[in-house]
Amino acid sequence: MSNVYFIPVAHDPGSEELSRLGRKLLEILVEKENLSLEEEIPLKLHFGERGNFTFLKPETYDGIIDFLEEKKIKSAFTETSVLYGGERFNREKHTALALSHGFKRLPVVIADGAKGEDAVQVPVDLKHFKSVSIAAGLAKFEQILVLSHFKGHMLAGFGGAIKQLSMGFGSKGGKMAMHLGVKPRIMGLFCKKCGLCQKRCQVQAISNTNGKFKIDHSKCIGCGACFSICPRHAVSIFSIGGFWNALFKGKFFREKLVEYACGSAKGKKHIYISFAVNITRGCDCEPHPMPRCIKDIGVFASTDPVAIDQACWDAAAKAGKKFRGADQLQYAEKCGLGSTKYTLIEC
């Protein structure tokens, strides 16, 4: 059983209020859980894709940064590059995007090197992976503040602390390993030829030959965006090598996420703060505006990534949105990442 500290918010609280609550929860967590703090603690977060409007704005983290500064703890904004092209593909572009989104108060560090090549292998010895490939610039820290925006995700079902620890900490090779096996196909019978999937695919893997849309698996990186956006459910994640993956709607993908999260958290003293606000069905990687699917809930903090995700998931379900992918929480518990049982302490 783990403790999860929680402060509810009114809808649309604004970054200033979130900043105040983030700091308050961090103070409470440090005091109540008797945490020792390292001399350097980076903030692992998401800078938001260009065109996305619901990612957490940089001011959200001001209170947490104030707290670290007062304690003379060195910090930085840190992230890893993504698999697909675009403005988060490598260090140079990703840094420029972060700065243009206003992440200027701390240095911006892209933790997997200039092109996503800087990685270390962490042994996990689990079902899908014997070892996982983690960004070297994150693996070297004993303690990281893992700051998550709780919301939906096209393949994972939802994204919170486990998603940050897995896809967010993985090197480019690690991200490929997690996506491997997610190779979608377009079912011609259901396709209404709208072309949305082709527009959304960031690696130009979808062709249109005389109205027949087809995915080139030699280019596809398994990001799941076409699966998520198709209005006719004409994209199936069935593949010859991934039949069970398809059958269980991404279950294996989520298990791989969990195994990566185990590698990122192994032997570490990470601190988790999740903001359950601006809750959309899709994630902050999606380069377009998205409506919120439920009202804002609040801010959560814990030392247990499974407990905090479970608490956010439960609160979202109570507010009217049962996100897919809750199976990852049971698997995470089975792998020893944390506990699905928690005590919610409202502060």
CB of 282 to ligand SF4, least distance (A): 13
Binding of ligand SF4 by 108 (CB under 6 A): no
Verify binding: residue 201, ligand SF4, rule CB under 6 A: yes
Q: Is residue 223 within the footprint of ligand SF4 (CB under 6 A)?
A: yes
For the chain, what is the radius of gyration of the CA atoms? 19
CB of 200 or CB of 266, closer to ligand SF4: 200
Minimum CB separation of residue 113 from ligand SF4 in Å reads 23
d(CA 234, CA 231): 8
Contact 93, 85 (CB under 8 A): no
In sequence order, the 6+-apart residues with CB closer than 8 A to the CB of 267 are: none
How many chain residues bind ligand SF4 (CB under 6 A)?
27
CA dist list (Å): 213 to 24, 140, 279: 51, 44, 32
Task: Tell me if 213 contacts ligand SF4 by CB under 6 A.
Answer: yes
225 binds ligand SF4 (CB under 6 A): yes
Residue 15 near residue 59 (C-beta atoms within 8 A): yes
Measured from the CB atom, the residue of 176 and 293 that comes closer to ligand SF4 is 176
Beta 77-79 vs 108-110: how paired, if at all?
parallel
DSSP codes of every residue in 141-166: -S--EEEEE-EEETTTEEESHHHHHH
Q: How many Å is the maximal CA-CA distance in the chain?
A: 64
Piece of 20-28, 126-134, 163-171, 214-222 that binds ligand SF4 (CB under 6 A): 214-222
The least distance separating ligand SF4 from the CB of residue 59, rounded to whole angstroms, comes to 32
Is 196 among the residues that bind ligand SF4 (CB under 6 A)? yes
283 binds ligand SF4 (CB under 6 A): no
Among 235, 273, 332, 337, binds ligand SF4 (CB under 6 A): 235
Q: Does 155 bind ligand SF4 (CB under 6 A)?
A: no
CA dihedral sign of residues 240, 243, 241, 133: positive
* Residue ranges in contact with ligand SF4 by CB under 6 A: 184, 186, 191-197, 200-201, 203, 205-206, 213, 215, 220-226, 230, 232, 234-235
